[in-house]
Amino acid sequence: MTSSAFPETMFAPSADPTWLLTEEGYDPLRESSRETRFAISNGFLGVRGERAFTRGRRWTTPARTYVAGLFDRTGEAGGVPVLLPAADWLQVQLHANGIRFVDEPADVPSHRMDLDMRRGLVLSDCFHDAGPVRLRVRTLRLVSLHERALGLQMIRLNILEGEATVTLEASLEGIDHGLTLLTGSPDLMTWRTRRSGIALAMTAGAALKIDGRTEPPGETGPLRSSWTWTTRPGQVVEFERLVSLARSPDGAAAAATARAALKRAQGRRARGVVGDHQAAWSERWAHSEVEVDGDPAAQRALRFAAYHLNSAANPDDERVSIGARALTGSDYGGHVFWDTDIYLLPFYCHTWPEAARALLMYRHHGLEAARAKARAQGWSGALYAWEAASGGEEATPPSTVAPDRQVLGILTGLREHHVSADVAYGVWRYWTATGDEEFLREAGAEILFETARFWASRAVPEPDGRRHIRGVIGPDEYHETVDDNAFTNVMAAWNIQRALDTVELMRGRWPQGWSELSSRLGLDESELDQWRDAAARIATGYDPQTGLYEQFAGFFGLEPVDLSAYAGRSVPMDVVLGRERTQRSQVIKQADVVALLALLPDVFPGGSGKRNFLYYEPRCGHGSSLSSPLHALVAARLGETDKALDYFSRTAAIDLSDTTAAVGGGVHIGALGGLWMATVFGFAGVAFGEDGLHLSPRLPSGWTRLAFTLQWRGRRLGCEILQTARRVTVSLDDGPSTVVQIEATRHPLEPGRPINAAY
């Protein structure tokens, strides 16, 4: 493989600091957090941001590479499938006169790393004295957003002083993380998972140039090469390594796919690979960037969120989804939760509909597993897994170890049933956002019908004339096995009603499709009557006298706890109070009724939305990263912008501050999606109706300008809100004319004729 010299600009980070995450020096207590923040991903490959080149093997684990869908069952995880790491393909060792350059990261205090979010690159730069040689080392790494099988590593060594015999060895490390080696050759290795039978292939090509001259390797092995030369001052040494990975049930097919991708990349050479990757990122930013003037911290937080959201999705593979930590860490075993359907889909629906569709098709492929889970618990229809892996089967571990070292059973996989309504909510949001008729006919309607069927069987009629859903866990997981959780029940009734709406839509618009689908599902009019009855009679816990939803039956009778007395705590409230007292109290783990207010504001009549927020907000201990973004969204809608900004900042701090060690296990991708939701649906006040886009801006006082792009039903809309002038500009950049409502005033929006209106 040959290449021209790397241009200097390739190693230079973006000039605008709000596009960068930068860290210098070495702090062992912060290394795992940095590895998470500086992760690169493209929805198929993810690589944690370990320090480049200056890492000694004695001090850290290999740089973790994750491949979407590479799940296997392990004894350590209680027999549930977990995402396995692949081999570290970034391993490079340098020796001068037989002595390794770096034994531990602290040996290189000048080390700087930049995550260039605009270009989707990780760059590093350091100066180092290694015996007789002083050199500058700059590196670049990426996983291609243009061709997701590809990874690229580039290193430039500038020899500043000294002469020595130097050896550079490029190899793999960590090649046995639960994988069985099948084949190994100089340019290809293949493995297979031990139980799930998934094959993984990795092929690579590496080259070294000294002063522009390509040097042949002196020693090679399976994906390993080394070069030895004599340095001199002024010498420029350039190393590049392209790798390609493929996942398949068949090892030969995986190898062929990986080889073909590498061959295409070698034809474009490293500069072409970087160029294609940067162009793909430019396209993503054109559809998803959110601009904030007046608050640089908020601007960086929103770019960080959009960077990881854009990195997490793969619209080309509907057999995988996005786990709770995406491909940036190992927490939760790579499992998919309700986070994807509630917190991530809004971003993709309105910035990347192709990615949203793939995520929902993953849910459609998991329908049979959801049906099996419902049957196993005695219900009809589809009960989705609380934690899902590749096939959609339940992947929740059976137990965990509590902070007090007790082994506790995990009940969420058995009783946290609202996930089925959450999946249905994602289906309906996508349908209303895109108008994708093919998806609704071929996949979405079936999900809506089977989840409605589940809820109609789950909501049991009782002598009081209501239907009750007993023995569940709502979003507030501090209270287990409760009856009539308001979030679960209202979402269930909503789910059934949307299924009934879809029935009427199909009957009127696609009668043949309705006939075929209803026949295949055995869905007749008598069952639809049961759905109508269930939707009308499910107990919701709403008290019209007070305007409050009771979070679950009996909640109002629990012990009130003043959470302000525990404001300085560093651990969750269930640890402070103990599990038993927490379950007897009104302390809430995360947004529950408030989550309902965020998702279905129309079920809160009159001023009851604000009454519920004022009641539940002081009772929430925010023991989940998913809690603060929904509180930010609701507070912003209610005009509580200072409170909303505080919750926004708390959400941003989850991954960008070092106040918690939890970030070491991967970014909290749901919270990052929630940050975007809080900004667009909260501060900008965006909502969508049948008649078009609605905006009711509520910007924080320090935000002088907010701008973003949205996609809606085949249109691309540009929105800009100016705080000082209290003006809104909306442009129709692509698609047919529509109507935009700004506060209470409706405006026609046509191509080439932006709206500029007061708010």
Provide the annotated active-site residues: 477
CB crowding 348-371: b at 16 or more within 10 Å, else e? bbbbbbebbbbbbbbbbbbbebbb
CB crowding 481-507: b at 16 or more within 10 Å, else e? ebebbbbbbbbbbbbbbbbbebbebbe
DSSP E strands: which ranges in 526-582? 542-543, 548-549
Question: Encoding tokens for residue 111?
Answer: 């080390």
Question: Encoding tokens for residue 532?
Answer: 């109508």
CA dihedral 417, 420, 426, 428 (to 10 degrees): -130
Beta bridge pairs of residue 46: 41, 66
Contact 71, 81 (CB under 8 A): yes
452: Cβ contacts below 8 Å, ≥ 6 apart: 381, 424, 495, 496, 498, 499, 500, 531
Contact 404, 434 (CB under 8 A): no
Contact 116, 20 (CB under 8 A): yes
CA 482, distance to chain mean position in Å, is: 30
Question: Encoding tokens for residue 378?
Answer: 């005695």
- Cα R_g (the chain), whole angstroms: 27
Question: Encoding tokens for residue 601?
Answer: 């504001």
- Number of CB atoms found within 10 A of residue 463's CB: 5
**Distances, alpha carbon 570 to alpha carbons 335, 581, 750, in Å:** 27, 19, 53
Question: Encoding tokens for residue 428?
Answer: 């309906």
Reported as half-sphere exposure (CB side, CA atoms, 13 A), residue 485 has a value of: 29
Contact 18, 300 (CB under 8 A): yes
Gap between the Cα atoms of 428 and 505, Å rounded: 13
Provide the 3-class DSSP secondary structure of residue 77.
helix
Provide the 3-class DSSP secondary structure of residue 111.
coil
Beta bridge pairs of residue 127: 136
CA 110, distance to chain mean position in Å, is: 32
Which DSSP helix (H) or strand (E) runs through 441? none
Gap between the Cα atoms of 759 and 745, Å rounded: 9
Contact 711, 287 (CB under 8 A): yes
Beta bridge pairs of residue 720: 707, 729
- With CA atoms as reference, report the closest residue to 357 among 287, 439, 423, 449: 439
Gap between the Cα atoms of 496 and 521, Å rounded: 16
Contact 698, 636 (CB under 8 A): yes
The DSSP symbol for 680 reads I
DSSP E strands: which ranges in 645-737? 686-689, 692-695, 705-712, 715-722, 727-734
Unique residue bearing structure tokens 């040494």:
237
554: Cβ contacts below 8 Å, ≥ 6 apart: 482, 483
Provide the 3-class DSSP secondary structure of residue 136.
strand
The total number of residues written for the chain in this structure: 759
Gap between the Cα atoms of 186 and 437, Å rounded: 49
Contact 89, 202 (CB under 8 A): yes
- Burial (Cβ within 10 Å: 0-12, 13-18, ≥19) of residue 20: middle
